[in-house]
Structures are given as structure tokens and as C-alpha cells.
Amino acid sequence: MGVTIQNIRVICTAPEGINLVVIKVETNQPGLYGLGCGTFAYRHLLVKQLVEEYLKPLLVGRNAENIEELWQLMHQNAYWRNGPAENNAISGVDMALWDIKGKLAGMPCYQLFGGKCREGIPVYRHVDGKDLSEICENIQRYQEMGITHLRCQCGGYGGGRYGKAPSTAPEGAPDGIYLDSRQYIRDTVKLFQGIRDRVGYDIALVHDVHERIAPMEAVRLAKELEPYDLFFLEDPIPLEQTDWLRILRQQTSIPIAQGELFNNPVEWKHLISEHLIDFIRVHLSQVGGITPARKLQIFAEQFGVRTAWHGPGDMSPIAHAANIHIDLAAPNFGVQEWSGIEPPNFVIQDLKGPHGALLEVFPGLPEYRDGYVYANDKPGLGVDLDEAEAAKYPCENTVTQWTQTRLRDGSLQTP
């Protein structure tokens, strides 16, 4: 029967304090295994149980080379489909199967996707700061590193830190991250005006709304940001109200990037086919792995929509590698979000601090050099896992705070 699945294991680790979920698919061939990312950082135990209790019994003994068949089997077996926990579990297995396929072929995965359209992947990084001066200093620092695209925020996504309700909230209002959308819009417009005045227009700038304002407020923000030549405005409209993208499209020429929270093809099909977005922003494990992401990339290409895959800290280096392999082979690649993980010999320390523990747990990460990220050309996805190192950094099952965002009256707002 060829290469069959002999065992599936879940390794949870948090070398940077963020819960990461890795699925290891072992085969009947000695030493042949694949690694995939199923990271749902805020519900990691759900993914672990799904894989161990449901996907493993379903898949053990089956042919590991039949990736499409196995993806459809996992997707359909629970009857209800396209949930985030299930998609992440499926993703972990799917990426691992592609990793195995590349190792069997003796090729990096991008060769299986058709080969390179480019040698390196331009990335955008995140700039924040307490004020305009600090932000501009950080921009200059990234420019010196070769970065040509930057996402700029001031104080996070439009709000402060988690804590007690402010004095402007009603008596008895719960703790949370309190947002003032009108102040956020004023501050953001002022920020981009200041950045352009100080650093000019040679750097490509991005801003992430993170769905934290009402749709009509997003229209206002986009119109007021027009003079500052954004590369794109990220997730301006809440997932549940994407019909507003039609109105936003009519009101602004700023390119729109959407999709970080997408789970289901129904959520993006009409946005792409009706030209309502310019960049598709999905999180690979959230949509079910490499297999559906490749289909999405090819579908988007037919309508002139470019990719800008989600690439945050709450995904494992295996998923970052999967992003890069798809990017290398995608004619409609736009830009890649890169959370700041550098190779061990990279001297300049990232704003968030060194990433030595992460790199020790996950050897083989694609490397950043002078504005571009390069795959390492090992067979498969090219990233390995040191399980002994991973065990040093256990995950924590705690209540997530950063998603408890609230409006001035204390009611919840999408995070």
C-alpha cells in the first residue's frame, strides 16, 4: 500500500509564551514523518483532543500520499464543517502530509506547487510606539534592515491595555480593553500625517483596523487616510458585516486587505469574485492548511486579488514556512506579514526581544535577509522540531484577556 500513516502525535509548546500546536504524522517508512501547524493559541486543548481522539483513529493505516482524499475525509467526517478548532486540527495533519510528500520527492514544497515565481519573499513588519517620535525611530531602524513595507500602529489596535474600566464607563462596568473609536480615528490620521511628514513616501505603509470600529467609521477612516498613500488598510470591516465592503470600495481608492478571521470559502468567494478586496489575508491553519490555501490562492489569481497571508506570532514556524512556500510559487503574491523571527546569527534584536528559544525548538525556519525571506530548500517544508527542547516550554491554559475589548459604555466589541 506504499507509505501509510502509522501514528499521529500532538506536541504543544510555548517557547515565547504563546501556545503553539504541532502535529507530527509518522509513517511506516523508518525515519519518515511530517510536521504541521494546528495552532489555535486560545483553544489549543480543543485541537489536541480533536487530533488524538478523532483524526488519529480515522487516519491511521491510510495512504499518506493521498493528500486531497484525506483532507476531504477529515473535513466531512464530523458532518458539520468549517469550524476554527476543526480546521486547525485538519491543518496540522494536512501540512504534515505535504511535508511528507516533499520528503518523498526530495524537493521543497514550493517545487511541488509549480516552482519559484521569485527568489525571495518581501515581508512587512510591525511598528508600534508610545508616540510619533518613537514610531519614526523604529521605522528608520527597519529601513536600515532592508524592510520596505511596515504596518504602523500607535498603542496597539485603537485601545489601551487590559485593566479596570475607565471613569467614563458606567458604574460596575467590567474589566477589559476600552476603545474610543472617534479618538482612535483622529489619532490614526494624525499618526500617518506625521509619519509621511517625517519619513516621506518611499516606505510602503499598512494599518490594521482589526475590525474594532463600526463599518461607517471605517469608511470615514479610509477617506481621511487617502492623502497618505497606504499600501493597504487591513481588516477594516467586521467579519459578520462584510457586505459593507461594497460601500467602502465605492468611497476610497485605498487597497483593502481582509480575511484574518475567515474559516469558510463562502466568506471570501463573493469578496474576490466581485472585486471587493485587493488582498486576501487568511490564516493558513484557520482555513484548514495548505490544501485549501492553495485553492484559494489560485482562485484569487483569476480575479486579480493578491495574497498577504496572516503571519503573526501566534502561529508556529512550520506555518510561517508554509506561507513562504506558497508565496514562492504564487503569481498573485502581494506581500507577507512576518512577525519578526530571525535566524540565530541575525545581530539586530527584534522589538519583541530575541527568538533563541523558538529557533532552538524549531530548527530550519526560513531566513530573513535584507528585506526578504528565503526558504532553506530542504525537502518538504524544511522546518524540524526538537521535542526535548519543546518540552521545556509547556503551554498554559488561561483565560484570554486581549480579546475582551469593550466600547465606552462597557459593552463588548469585536477584538
Distance CA 253, CA 214 (A): 19
Distance CA 288, CA 50 (A): 13
In the block, residue with C-alpha cell 475525509: 73
Starting from the edge strand earliest in sequence, which strands make up the sheet with 33-37, in order?
5-13, 20-27, 33-37
Distance CA 325, CA 319 (A): 10
- Is 184 one of the catalytic residues? no
- Which of 126, 207, 210, 283 does the annotation list as catalytic? 210
- Is 157 one of the catalytic residues? yes
Q: What are the DSSP E strand ranges found in 120-229? A: 121-127, 149-152, 177-178, 204-208
Q: Which residues contact 133 (CB under 8 A, 6 or more apart)?
A: none
How does DSSP classify residue 48?
H
Q: What are the DSSP E strand ranges found in 267-403? A: 279-280, 306-307, 336-337, 367-369, 372-374
Residue type, 321: A
Asked if 338 and 124 count as a contact pair (C-beta separation under 8 A), the reply is yes
In Å, the largest CA–CA distance within the chain is 68
- Which of 33, 110, 124, 157 does the annotation list as catalytic? 157
In the block, residue with C-alpha cell 521535542: 387
Q: Name the residue among 287, 291, 253 with its Cα closest to residue 269.
A: 287
Q: What length does the chain have?
A: 415
Distance CA 228, CA 402 (A): 29
Rounded to whole angstroms, what are the CA distances from 320 to 285, 315, 382?
Answer: 10, 7, 11
Determine which helix (DSSP H) or strand (DSSP E) holds 306, and give its type and residue range. strand 306-307
Asked if 184 and 158 count as a contact pair (C-beta separation under 8 A), the reply is yes
Asked if 359 and 365 count as a contact pair (C-beta separation under 8 A), the reply is yes
Positions marked active-site: 157, 210
